[in-house]
Amino acid sequence: MSILDVQGLKMYYSTLKGDVKAVDGVVLEVEKREAIGLVGESGCGKTTFALAIIRLLPWNGRIVGGNVLFDGVDIIGMDEKKFDTDYRWKRLSYVFQGAMNAMNPVFRVGDQIAEAITLHEDVEKEEAMNRARDLFKLVGIDPVRVSSYPHELSGGMKQRAMIAMALACNPDFIIADEPTTALDVIVQAQTLQVIDRLRRELGLTMMLITHDLSVVAQTCLTCAIMYAGKIVEYTDINTVFEEPLHPYTKALTSAFPSIKEERRELVSIRGAPPNLLNPPTGCRFNPRCPYSMKICTEEEPEYKNQGGRHYVACHLLG
Amino acid sequence: MVSEEIELKVVDLKKWFPVRMGVISTLLSRKTKYVKAVDGVSFDVKKGEIFGLAGESGCGKTTAGKTILRLLEPTSGEIYFQGQNITNIGKIDMKQLRKKMQIVYQDPYESINPRMTVYDIISEPISIHKLADSPAEKEEIIYSVLKDVELVPPEEFMLRFPHELSGGQRQRVAVARTLVMKPSFIVADEPISMLDVSIRAGILKVMLRAGEAGGISYIFITHDLAYARHICHRGAIMYLGKIAEMAPMDNLVKNPLHPYTVALMTAVPVPDPRLEKARAIIGGEVPTPIDPPSGCRFHPRCSKFMNICREEEPPLREIESGHYVACHAVR
């Protein structure tokens, strides 16, 4: 059974200029122990989608439609108090984007991790601190650093501390939002190794949000490509790179340079990602699509199964 | 086309920033500490060449770029542009040269004035350097440069303000503002790292095409080795203010010799799930450049560490033709 079942989720932001349709009908099933990459360009709604799942939307964001089942239970309609005590951080946690700024600068990192534990479980502070030390060991930081303040840690250590914090209450499902974006390449590789090891050792289900296809290629088993508030293609990681079906996926994978290839001319996708205040009608990719047909401007393509666990939303596929 | 003519040459360039000290340290006349952002860098860029300056954050690549253009005053060393030593020339002479030596900044949201229209942004350098004799000529120049950067139709973009443009379009304006002076040398400081993947190649294409047409030499500053691999002819890897390795891009990628370059190349993730995963073969992070390690600056993290590495700084030596490495372990 799938651990996460998103059924046509719609999430809009109200602004003075109207509704920004950041997430507009997302369908996604995540199996237990799956490592799924959610890939898209900036502003495509990937972070909003993840925040909606863990119910941490900003004040002007609201869920307009759809449903999210976590382990078979509806978590969108659930009472906030119940969600907070039984789900958020306990079963489903989050590694926030920008570890540099995600921690409170005036508290010791160990205390911040212990706080998450004492809030959710009936344990003494001392016990929680011990667990924080164990978590530090787990992510590869010297346990004495629990008494450091965030500014005393390097960028890579802060990111590991954030991962430790997300693991504080032994969750089943972890969302990592651009966990390596601000890090240097060697530290990025170190962090991804830690994430990959923990996922295997602890049997976690993971959703990795990123704009970087190469990071997904290295850490995930499946991949969902998001464009302008919708998932346009979902399939296993090899198919994404070898036989993608959606024109956007094709364009995106070929736009991504690899250091292992011979020198080549880089390609881009014409135009720019749309403004979600007023997205294009029909298929949202149609103004940039080289195969655009008349129907693409008129009718939204259905998100259909292409055999196995391969889903695509494109009129070209009939 | 890359010619043999040398456009820019840098010899032992240094840029140190003093660390601000407290009153007590000053009174006790403790020695001033310096952040040695660039600490003895030498290389040259040929006419029409794209030279990559790559490294992790804090390695001094941006400081090097700005010092070369004398947007920062060098602490010591020499800069030669088209054979002329420009290290100490005065403001007025430098202004003449600025036409030819330009920079494109990383963040198009901060590098162009939000209160000026595209027309004003591009016409400002034309006015400053008196590149047009009449308003009509000025308009013509602006029209054609907008076409060059593919902001078409130009008349539709001329009167727009930056907030009416997307990130990619803004960066095109920033590039147009640079190209309008017909420079022969451009420092491109991470020109695409703030942009979405799908539009990056478009900006690069515009810059490279102008480069080929006008014989422009580029210093392409980047932390992204995958892009450097596809754009640059030659590249240098910097670590804590020094060049660790410098070689034609192909050699740098396929046959890295410095242990740091090897570690960098193994850590770059590859967009191919079937290839071997990127690995961090060294631990730790780049230390602060205030008191860098003695000898070879990379020695505390190096897998090939020997005693000499702690004591003596390795010089940048030519190991193969055009392939320079600063490492005691590479012979």
Q: What is the pLDDT of residues A55-83, one digit of tens each?
A: 999 999 999 999 999 999 999 999 999 99
Dihedrals phi, psi of B15, to nearest 5 degrees: -135, 110
All residues of chain A having their beta carbon less than 8 Å from the beta carbon of residue B230 are 257, 261, 263-266
With contact defined as beta carbons under 8 Å apart, do A197 and A280 qualify? no
pLDDT for A272: 86
pLDDT exceeds cutoff 90 at B3 = no
pLDDT exceeds cutoff 90 at A114 = yes
pLDDT for A100: 73
- B237-260 pLDDT, tens digit per residue, is 999 999 999 999 999 999 999 999
User: Residue A288: pLDDT band by 50, 70, 90 thresholds?
Assistant: very high
Contact between chains at B198 and A188 (C-beta distance less than 8 A): no
Crossing angle of helices B167-179 and B135-148, in 10° steps, is 130
Question: Cα–Cα distance between A39 and A314 in angstroms, integer?
Answer: 18
Contact between chains at A213 and B270 (C-beta distance less than 8 A): no
- B308-326 pLDDT, tens digit per residue, is 999 999 999 999 999 999 9
pLDDT exceeds cutoff 90 at A204 = yes
Using CB atoms, pick whichever of B56, B201, B229 lies closest to residue A259. Answer: B229
Question: Cα–Cα distance between B143 and A138 in angstroms, integer?
Answer: 60
pLDDT exceeds cutoff 90 at B298 = yes
All residues of chain A having their beta carbon less than 8 Å from the beta carbon of residue B283 are 190
Mutation for testing the A interface, residue in B198, B206, B237, B260 having most A CBs under 10 Å: B198
User: Residue B175: pLDDT band by 50, 70, 90 thresholds?
Assistant: very high
All residues of chain B having their beta carbon less than 8 Å from the beta carbon of residue A181 are none
CB atoms within 10 A of CB B74: 20
Using CB atoms, pick whichever of A184, A188, A259 lies closest to residue B253. Answer: A259
pLDDT exceeds cutoff 80 at B123 = yes
**247-306 in chain B: CB under 8 A from chain A:** 249-250, 253, 263-275, 277-280, 282-283, 285-286
- A29-40 pLDDT, tens digit per residue, is 999 999 999 999
pLDDT for A34: 95
Using CB atoms, pick whichever of A218, A261, A270 lies closest to residue B278. Answer: A218
All residues of chain B having their beta carbon less than 8 Å from the beta carbon of residue A259 are 225-226, 229, 253, 265, 268, 270
Using CB atoms, pick whichever of B197, B270, B277 lies closest to residue A255. Answer: B197
| Residue A71 sits at the chain B interface (C-beta within 8 Å) | no
pLDDT for B221: 96
Chain mean pLDDT for chain B:
93
Q: Which of A163-172, B65-74, B273-282, B291-300 has the lowest mean pLDDT?
A: B273-282
All residues of chain A having their beta carbon less than 8 Å from the beta carbon of residue B278 are 189, 192, 218
Mutation for testing the B interface, residue in A17, A212, A268 having most B CBs under 10 Å: A268
Greater pLDDT, B22 or B293: B293
Percent of chain A with pLDDT over 90: 84
Percent of chain B with pLDDT over 90: 82
Q: Is the pTM of this model over 0.80?
A: yes
All residues of chain B having their beta carbon less than 8 Å from the beta carbon of residue A17 are none
Question: Cα–Cα distance between A203 and A223 in angstroms, integer?
Answer: 19
- A210-257 pLDDT, tens digit per residue, is 999 999 999 999 999 999 999 999 999 999 999 999 999 999 999 999
pLDDT exceeds cutoff 90 at A155 = no
Question: Cα–Cα distance between A257 and B225 in angstroms, integer?
Answer: 10
pLDDT for B27: 75
Using CB atoms, pick whichever of A193, A241, A255 lies closest to residue B201. Answer: A255
- A165-201 pLDDT, tens digit per residue, is 999 999 999 999 999 887 889 999 999 999 999 999 9
pLDDT for B33: 85
Contact between chains at A241 and B272 (C-beta distance less than 8 A): yes
Using CB atoms, pick whichever of B205, B231, B273 lies closest to residue A217. Answer: B273
pLDDT for B279: 86
Percent of chain A with pLDDT over 70: 100
pLDDT for A203: 94
Question: Cα–Cα distance between B131 and A181 in angstroms, integer?
Answer: 42
pLDDT exceeds cutoff 80 at A293 = yes
| Residue A190 sits at the chain B interface (C-beta within 8 Å) | yes
CB atoms within 10 A of CB A307: 7
Nearest CA in chain B to A182: B57
pLDDT exceeds cutoff 90 at B20 = no
All residues of chain A having their beta carbon less than 8 Å from the beta carbon of residue B250 are 263
Which contacts qualify for A129-137: CB closer than 8 Å, 24 or more apart? A131/A168, A132/A164, A132/A168, A135/A164, A135/A165, A135/A167, A135/A168, A136/A110, A136/A160, A136/A161, A136/A164
Here the tokens at position A272 are 């720019």
